[in-house]
Structure 1
Amino acid sequence: MLNIVLFGPPGAGKGTQAAKLIEKYQLVHISTGDLFRMHIKEQTELGKRVKDLLDNGILVPDSVTIDMLEEEVQKNPDAKGIIFDGFPRTVPQAEALDAFLASKNSDIKAVLQLDVDEAELKRRIAERKKVSGRADDDEDKLVKRIDEYFNKTVHVLPYYKAQGKLTVVNGIGQIEDIFNNLCSAIDTE
């Protein structure tokens, strides 16, 4: 299986690039953000808990996120591979993902980090908010999410670097050029 983790701060282009990678490699896309939004929209018990946390700019606890993710992976037993978008965000989540995939005789093949500076992130999200109206693109929440990424989530990268799986890709430029760089990283794994 071709399992990929796509990393980057809010506004780095993960969703755009994930869609292109899914099409090319026929992957299943699992976005924790999308899963959280679905649960919130459907007002499930998990959705209510997640909404309260996200409304305050707080990451959802590892145990909740991991359970939800494992459930989603199990819905796709015949997948050629999975692209994980927005997960893992902590080293314990990365370790749990590795253990879960190992139990399925699989592993993460590549970890791709979209590198984008903070000024560009803010510009992109301001544009996205005009189109999407996503509540999590509110300026105060955005600052918390970007800080969360650079202060906490980014610390997962050394975990994958130590495994020789991390590739940093410049996330600024033409969408197609960024995509080609991501594909080159995948194809060399």
Structure 2
Amino acid sequence: PGAGKGTQSAYLVERHGLVHLSTGDIFRSNIKDGTELGQLAQSYMNQGQLVPDGVTIRMLESEVDKHPEAKGFIFDGFPRTTAQAKALDELLNDRKAPVSCMLALEVAEEELKLRLLTRAKTSG
């Protein structure tokens, strides 16, 4: 948090017509809507376990499929593992939409602290 992912994603969505997919948002939505995948993810989380890659990938695949005409995607919080990266590559290749660009936002720890403190003060 605090690196500017949301700010930069909003800019890229607006400027280039990309679809922003946040794994956190996707998880929350699936759980809130009580989808089969959401219930499965919730069961792992209730036990203090990580949600398996397969469940996460299926959720993401479902979201990608909702946007067949997308110019491209911004994947926020994904992939986090080598297995997820391979699955994402396969998913996009199957849809003739290979990864064309990857971006990593890196911010010094002191700057992150300053940003998060400022955010806390302004948003309560």
Residue 53 of structure 1, aligned match among 45, 48, 52: 45
Tell me which residue corresponds to 2:13.
22
Kindly state the Cα deviation for residue 95 of structure 1 after the two structures are TM-superposed: 0.3
Q: Report Cα offsets for 1:91-127 as digits up to 9, x if no partner.
A: 1000000011111122111111111122332333344
Go from structure 1 to structure 2 and tell me whether the alpha carbon gap of 1:16 and 1:106 turns closer, same or farther (over 3 Å shift).
same
Supply the distance in 1 between the matched residues of 2:64 and 2:113 (Cα, whole angstroms).
32
Identity %: 56
Go from structure 1 to structure 2 and tell me whether the alpha carbon gap of 1:43 and 1:121 turns closer, same or farther (over 3 Å shift).
farther
Is 1:13 aligned to 2:4, yes or no? yes
Amino acid at match of 2:69: D
Instruction: Give the TM-score normalised by the residue count of structure 2.
Output: 0.81
Where does the alignment leave 5 or more consecutive residues of structure 2 unmatched? none
Kindly state the Cα deviation for residue 39 of structure 1 after the two structures are TM-superposed: 2.6
Count of aligned pairs between the two proteins: 122
Kindly state the Cα deviation for residue 129 of structure 1 after the two structures are TM-superposed: 4.6
Tell me which residue corresponds to 1:31.
22
Supply the distance in 2 between the matched residues of 1:48 and 1:103 (Cα, whole angstroms).
27
Amino acid at match of 2:82: V
Q: Report Cα offsets for 1:66-98 as digits up to 9, x if no partner.
A: 000000000100111111111111110000000
Q: Report Cα offsets for 1:131-156 as digits up to 9, x if no partner.
A: 2x7xxxxxxxxxxxxxxxxxxxxxxx
Go from structure 1 to structure 2 and tell me whether the alpha carbon gap of 1:59 and 1:122 turns closer, same or farther (over 3 Å shift).
farther
Tell me which residue corresponds to 1:99.
90
Supply the distance in 2 between the matched residues of 1:50 and 1:128 (Cα, whole angstroms).
30
Structure with greater strand percent:
1
Residue 105 of structure 2, aligned match among 114, 137, 142: 114
Instruction: Give the TM-score normalised by the residue count of structure 1.
Output: 0.56
Tell me which residue corresponds to 1:42.
33
Are the counterparts in 1 of residues 41 and 55 from structure 2 also a CA contact under 8 Å?
no
Kindly state the Cα deviation for residue 46 of structure 1 after the two structures are TM-superposed: 4.1
Aligned Cα RMSD in Å? 2.6
